[in-house]
Structure 1
Amino acid sequence: MISMKKHLILSQLTLCAGLAFAGFSVQAQDVKGSAQAGQGKVWLCIGCHAIPDYRADYPLVYKVPMIGGQNAAYIASSLAAYKKGERKHPTMRSIAGSLSDQDMADLGEYYAAQTASSPNNPLK
């Protein structure tokens, strides 16, 4: 009898957790980024990502990628992974931790829109 109650409670908790995660992922997918809005937020990124061949040296020497032209969804999901701690770089984690889902989507769209012929952002 007790094991049946535990099984029922565990099933209900699993269902609730699944619904909560489903709601979270639907909410995150509903965020539409704007390259124009991202242009005003890019100051968070340019200190490292706008410098050709830049290498960060904390905590290890790390070649910082140029992210112009990268896929918007990839940038937004990478930032979300840093914010959650799934990616391990202290500087990126602290920067991503300050961003909302909208900020991440906007930055993703901004960088996705960049090409070799894009004019320089005046904030760079």
Structure 2
Amino acid sequence: MKKLSILSKLLVCSGLVFVGFSAQADEVKGSAAAGNTKVWLCVGCHSIPDYRADYPLVYRVPMLGGQNAAYITTALSEYKKGERKHPTMRSIATSLSDQDMADIGEYYAAQTASSPNNPLK
């Protein structure tokens, strides 16, 4: 009886491990190379030094180069869900897939001061 109890616990634990692996497999992996062709959406505001947007409020638009990929992906996802409020960013984010957001995040995370100029960024 005791052996059966231990065996059932081992089976449950091993099942949970496989569930964890399948959840990780569903995670989207970004590609900086793929993001290279997708950042044209960001150019109008985020590539202009000291740019200040005036709608809906006046604020300084951040430069994205060198920013953490996960932060960019999360921010875009929050704009898409409406958790962050900015009409322009929301409309852009709603047009992006999860893969697009991950690729854009990886692209900007890979940027440094010595990165070659991308005419699309």
Question: Aligned pairs, how many?
Answer: 99
1:24-43 pair list within 5 angstroms: 26=23, 30-43=27-40
The answer (yes or no) to whether the contact 1:56–1:64 under 8 Å persists in 2 is yes
The answer (yes or no) to whether the contact 1:28–1:101 under 8 Å persists in 2 is no
TM-score, normalized by length of structure 2? Answer: 0.78
TM-score, normalized by length of structure 1? Answer: 0.76
Query: Structure 2: how far apart are the matches of 1:56 and 1:27?
Result: 38
Structure 1 match to 2:49: 52
Query: Structure 2: how far apart are the matches of 1:53 and 1:105?
Result: 26
Consecutive unaligned residues in structure 2, runs of 5 or more:
1-22
Q: 1:29 to 1:55 in 2, by over 3 A?
A: farther
Query: Structure 1: how far apart are the matches of 2:53 and 2:98?
Result: 25
Q: Deviations over 1:17-66 (max 9, x none)?
A: xxxxxxxxx48961000000000000000110000000010001011000
Structure 1 match to 2:83: 86
Q: 1:74 to 1:47 in 2, by over 3 A?
A: same
The answer (yes or no) to whether the contact 1:71–1:108 under 8 Å persists in 2 is yes
Structure 2 match to 1:100: 97
Q: Aligned letter for 1:98?
A: S
Consecutive unaligned residues in structure 1, runs of 5 or more:
1-25
1:109-120 pair list within 5 angstroms: 109-120=106-117
SS of aligned partner of 1:33: coil
Structural RMSD (CA): 1.5
Structure 2 match to 1:67: 64
Q: Which has the larger radius of gyration?
A: 2
Q: 1:48 to 1:72 in 2, by over 3 A?
A: same
